Structure 1
C-alpha cells in the first residue's frame, strides 16, 4: 500500500476549522467501510514539518483517487515517502466531481446558513452509504433535501453535476432561491430554463414549485445532457405526494436545530425536530430507491443521537452506527452540538 498525506483546507469558519481534521478522519473511515473497502487504511492526524495533515495508507487506482478527490475538506493530496531528514511529499493530481464555479456555494450569506464544507461532508457520507455509491463518479444521481431552506444542499448536489430537489415551508427562503439560482446561471452565461408555478394535486393547491434545467456547457445543452433542480414550497410531511415513489438515490438534510437562529418565530415544526422527523420520515423513505440512504444532521441538544436512530429504525431503515459514523459530532456554538445520523433502505 502507498502512504498518503491529505492537507486539510483552511476554513473561513474558525469553529468548524478546529474540528476539520477529526471530521476528515471520520469521513475517510466511512469511505474505508463503503466505496473504498479493503483499499483504504486507518487515518490519523499527524504533524509534518509543523503542518497538520491527515495521513493514511491506501491501494488506489484512478477511481480510488477520484473518490478521495471529493473528500469535503481536501485541499491537496500527496504521496509520502521516507527521507533521511523526514518525508518527501509528491503531489497527486485530483479528479474532482465539481463542474460549476464554487461561488455557487459561497456567494450567499445569511443568518443560520449551514457551513458549505459541512454540507459537502453530509452529502458525501450519505451517498457513500447508499447502493448507488458505485455510480457517483459516472452517473447523475438524484438527491432530495426535504428541509432545503435557501438551497445550500441543492447547490452542493449541483456542484457534483447531479439532479437536485428540495422542499421547504418557508416562502421567503423559496423566493430567495428562486431568484438566486436563475440569476447566477445567467451571470455565468450557462444555458438554462427556469419557471415557477403553482403546485396542485387532486384539485388542491399544495404550494409552489421552481423547475430549473441547466447544462454545464453549450455542447452539453445541444446534446440534451442537462441537470435538473426542483424546489417545492410545501410541507415536507407531504413530500410523498409531490415526488414519485422510489425516485431518489439519497435524502440529505440538515434538521431544524430548535434554536432561535435556526427557527422561524411561531413555526412549531422547526422547534420540535424529533416530532417533525417522526411525522416526515415515512414519506421520505417512500421516495428512496431500494438501497437508498438517508443522512440527517441533528443538534444533539434538541435531538439526541439515540432518539434519531430509533426513529430511523422505526421506519424500517438499517442504521449505520460504526465508530466511523459516530465520529462526526462537533461543536457549532453554545446552543448547537451537531452530529450526523445515516441509515439505508433495504435493496
Structure 2
C-alpha cells in the first residue's frame, strides 16, 4: 500500500476551516471514483502539530491521478509517506488564472470560494464523463449566480460559463469587478454589455465576455466565454440552448431575502423557487450532464429536495460519500449539497 497525506488550505473563515477536514474526506471519496486506485482508509492524522487528511492506495498515484487530485478544493499540498518522512508530491492544478479572481470580492452573504469549488468539483465528477473538464472546456451554468463566484471558478478552470441573477446590484458589481480584473491582469478579451431583450421586450441586462487563457491562444481564436443574464432565473434559462449545459451548479436561497420575479409577485419561498425553476434548469442540461445544488436544510429537507430532483427526471446520487457534506454555516444555516445526473 502507498500512504498519502493532504495538508489543508488555511481557510480564513474559522467555521468553514473547522468543517474542512470532513468535507475534504467526502470530496476525496468522490474523486476516488475516477482514480486508477480508489483511496482506502481515509481519515485524519496529526503530524508535527499539523492536521492532515490521509489515505492509502493499492498502487502509487499515477500522473493522471495527481492531475485530478490537484484540484481538491481544500488541498494545500499533497505528500507521500516514506517511513516517518513526508515526500512532497508535485501537484498540477488546473488553475489558469491567479487566485485573487476568487478572493478579491468581499461582501455579506458571499458563498465561501472553497465551498464553491467543492460543489463544482463533485458535480463535474458526477457527469457521464467525469474527467472531461481536465481535457477541455465544458459549459457551466449557475442560474442563481449572485456576484459570480461560480463564474469565476469556472473561468479559473478554463471553462465556459453562463450565470443568471435577478439582483441588478449584483450584476453591476460583477460587471465592474470582472472588467477591472481582466484589464489589470492584461488578459486579452472583449466585453459587450447592454440591455437584454427578447421579442422586443426588455428582460434586464446582459454581459458577454470572450477571453483567452493566454495571449497566444486569444490570437489563435482559442477563447472561452462568460455570459451573465440579469433577469429572473425562469426567464433566463429560456435563453440557454436546450442540452447545451454540461454541469449546472448553484447555491440555493437560504431564506426569505432571496426570490424570483413572477408575473404578479416576488416569490420569496426557496421551495417555490426551486419547484418553479427546476424544469427549465433541467432542460438546459445535456444527457449525462449533472446538477449540483447546495441549500439550507432548515428550509428544505433532504428527502424533499431529492423528490423534487427525481420528479424533474434526474437520478440523485445518494449514500456515501454524498451524505457527508452537511456542515454549519451559522446558527440559522446548516448547509448540505446534492448532486443528480440527467439520464
Shorter-chain TM-score: which interval? over 0.9
The count of residues paired between Structure 1 and Structure 2 equals: 337
Q: Deviations over 1:136-165 (max 9, x none)?
A: 111111100000000011001101000011
Task: Provide the rounded CA distance (Å) in 1 between the counterparts of 2:249 and 2:212.
Answer: 23
Q: CA deviation at 1:13?
A: 0.2
Work out which of the residue numbers 254, 270, 274 in structure 2 matches 1:273.
Answer: 270
How do 1:236-315 residues align onto structure 2 when only pairs under 5 Å count?
Answer: 236-258=233-255, 268-269=266-267, 271-315=268-312
- Asked if structure 2 preserves the Cα contact closer than 8 Å seen for 1:132 and 1:249, the reply is no
Q: CA deviation at 1:227?
A: 1.1
Task: Provide the rounded CA distance (Å) in 2 between the counterparts of 1:259 and 1:160.
Answer: 33
Distance 1:14 1:263, change over 3 A: farther
CA RMSD of aligned residues (A): 1.5
Higher mean alpha-carbon deviation, 159-168 vs 216-225, is at 216-225
Work out which of the residue numbers 189, 192, 209 in structure 2 matches 1:192.
Answer: 189
Aligned to 2:215: 218
- Asked if structure 1 preserves the Cα contact closer than 8 Å seen for 2:196 and 2:203, the reply is yes
- Asked if structure 2 preserves the Cα contact closer than 8 Å seen for 1:253 and 1:296, the reply is yes
TM-score, with length taken from structure 1 = 0.94
- Asked if structure 1 preserves the Cα contact closer than 8 Å seen for 2:143 and 2:250, the reply is yes
Q: CA deviation at 1:2?
A: 1.7
Distance 1:75 1:259, change over 3 A: farther
Q: Which structure 2 segments of 5+ residues have no match?
A: none
- Asked if structure 2 preserves the Cα contact closer than 8 Å seen for 1:257 and 1:263, the reply is no
Q: Deviations over 1:112-137 (max 9, x none)?
A: 01110111111001111012322111
Task: Provide the rounded CA distance (Å) in 2 between the counterparts of 1:42 and 1:64.
Answer: 17
Runs of 4+ more than 3 Å apart: none
Task: Provide the rounded CA distance (Å) in 2 between the counterparts of 1:73 and 1:343.
Answer: 23
Aligned to 2:55: 56
- Asked if structure 1 preserves the Cα contact closer than 8 Å seen for 2:243 and 2:287, the reply is yes
Q: Which structure 1 segments of 5+ residues have no match?
A: none
Task: Provide the rounded CA distance (Å) in 1 between the counterparts of 2:237 and 2:164.
Answer: 11
Q: Deviations over 1:16-56 (max 9, x none)?
A: 000000000000111123x2275322411111222110000
Work out which of the residue numbers 199, 202, 214 in structure 1 matches 2:199.
Answer: 202
Q: Deviations over 1:75-121 (max 9, x none)?
A: 00000122xxxx21100000000010111101111110111011111
Distance 1:42 1:277, change over 3 A: farther
